[in-house]
Structure 1
Amino acid sequence: AELDTLLQAAEIEVEQVKTAQAAVLKAQNAAEAEAKATPEGGGGALDKDLIKVATGLETSSEEAKKSVAGCMALVEGNVNMMRIRGPTEELKASAAVLQNRAREVKASLEDTLQKVRTAKAGATARVEREARKLAAKQEALRQEKIFKQYDKDGDGLLNEEEIRAYVAGEHKFELAEDKLQNILSKHPDGVAHKDFAQLRSQIAIVWSEILNKRRKEKNEKQMATIKKNSAEILSALSSVEGEVAKAEAQVRILGPMIGASMLDMLSERTEAAESAVDAARDFLAAAKEQALGLGVDSNFETEAKQMALGEAKTLQTKVVALENRVNAAAVLSKAARSKIQLQERKAALLREATAM
């Protein structure tokens, strides 16, 4: 009963969509007739009206789509329920009728909407094509205006000075003499308006060459700077390694002292070791910051960026190795400090016991 009620509502809504399709069909016939009859091939007001009508129908059909989806979900649920409980012949016959109605209403809606989408797609293609043609015409008029602007003597040809002025005014760079003569070799009397597009292409190629040259020069300078900075950081790391070695030498003698409980000497040596470890860490932190910053410049060209990342990775590997050595030295100095503190606590307890 529930499915039957939902189907009745869905059938009414789908029928309303099909009725509304008549307006789309009318607009489609008018737009396609205009497309065949006019040199432009459509893309005007009638096509835009068709798109508007079709879009409106697509929007208004949402409720019908939801109703049909609800019916199909209920049909699927009923089928699953019958599989579980086992249907009677009467129930099977009734369910089959409802399933067929649901499938028919779904197919009817999908067929209607597909026709609407097809009509809309054709109109959209014609409108977009016309827009491209209009844009091309406007660009042609703009280029004609530019040509006349630089054709100072009005002879319909751009001479040497006029070409220079055009490049400087529109493209913002100075055309090299050899490039200019190459252009004029093909147009000794000057560049006519019909060849203006070719001139623009030639200028674009020249500008691209200039940009590539600038990029190459910039890349070479960046790579030279990266090499220089990398060498400086590597030199700094060599100095840091010397500080790390000093710290290692200071902590190396702490082990025997810890075992021998040489408290007075251990205290003095531990302070020296801790100072050496702290100094090594400070030097290493500065070098690490430089190494990490080597490959993060967003203005690097592609080749320079790749080089910087490679150099940074190499330097960071060295930094990590030095960090591990400093940390190992710090562990030994900390152990010595713990031994000293333990001995001091024991001595304090002993003094308290003696005083009592």
Structure 2
Amino acid sequence: MTELGNPIKQGKSEISRAARLSVAPMMDWTDRHCRYLHRLMSARTLLYTEMVTAPALVRGGALHLLDHDPAEHPVALQLGGSDPAELAEAARIGAQAGYDEINLNVGCPSDRVQSGAFGAVLMKDAALVARCVTAMRRAVDVEVTVKCRIGVDDQDPHVVLPEFLSRVVAAGIERVTIHARKAWLDGLSPKENRDIPPLDYPLVHLMKEYFPNLHISLNGGITTLEAAEAALDAGVDGVMIGRAAYHQPADILCGADRRIYGDGEDCTPEDVVLDMLPYIEAHLEAGGKLSSVTRHMLGLFAGKPGARIWRRVLSEGAHLPDAGTALIRSALEQTQAQAQAAAQARAG
């Protein structure tokens, strides 16, 4: 069983160490239920919220978007925006809500983000990004970080990325996450932008040579814990994993504390399911829906015997009005029975 993280906000050095491995901010995925699940698998890994827009907090008063469980620490809030004053106020609200880090999104290529003049389009205006992070840093005591691409559209990454990093470092940024792909704002969909532009890991490693005191995390195309270890061994300071950590969370996170941080013990998907039950019961008692939590648990047994029945039982039953933890226990029992049958079949 993995111990839950420290419910106290963590300091800069602790967050920097946690950033050796992080789970990427992913819209519609890394909500508070997802983060609680991930924390049960790894006490050390740095977790990120979905991107929250500064206007939603400052003008819309959508403070519910900042809800999180104290057990989620270390946890970072990712903000989207392009107005320095508004971002500073949103950062202040986020820090006051208890987040350990405030991250500025300079990498999302979605149409909605482009229309708001923030996200990856900000790669075209490094001076504005520098003003934004300067304002954010003045507003909060917690660390402000940046997540960016290597460039957008027709930009030459070997020219634009060093210039971009120079600007943000001069503004006081000490930690960045670089998605090692360009974003094509004109011609590719957000989904295509996650896969089609080629990865350029050597460029990210070159940036580490150019900026040796900058903590650089590598993002993009890393789908296994082995690949994360290899990237760290190759010289980056951290690795951020996105979709693989969501769809196969146990493969990435259950061994992360031991292998990436050198402490803790591995857990199993079965451990995680049982550890989630009290949280789910509390969520249901508060009027929440079972499916709001279980949709993040569908990949717990990915690649293992019984994975299909686990997904089927939860997918078909979690939306029913009387669904509760009994459904999860039943799904686990059926999954374990199928895994045992598969093991016996292999044994001959």
Q: TM-score, normalised by structure 1?
A: 0.15
Higher RCO (C-alpha 8 Å, min separation 6) = 2
Richer in strand (by share): 2
Richer in helix (by share): 1
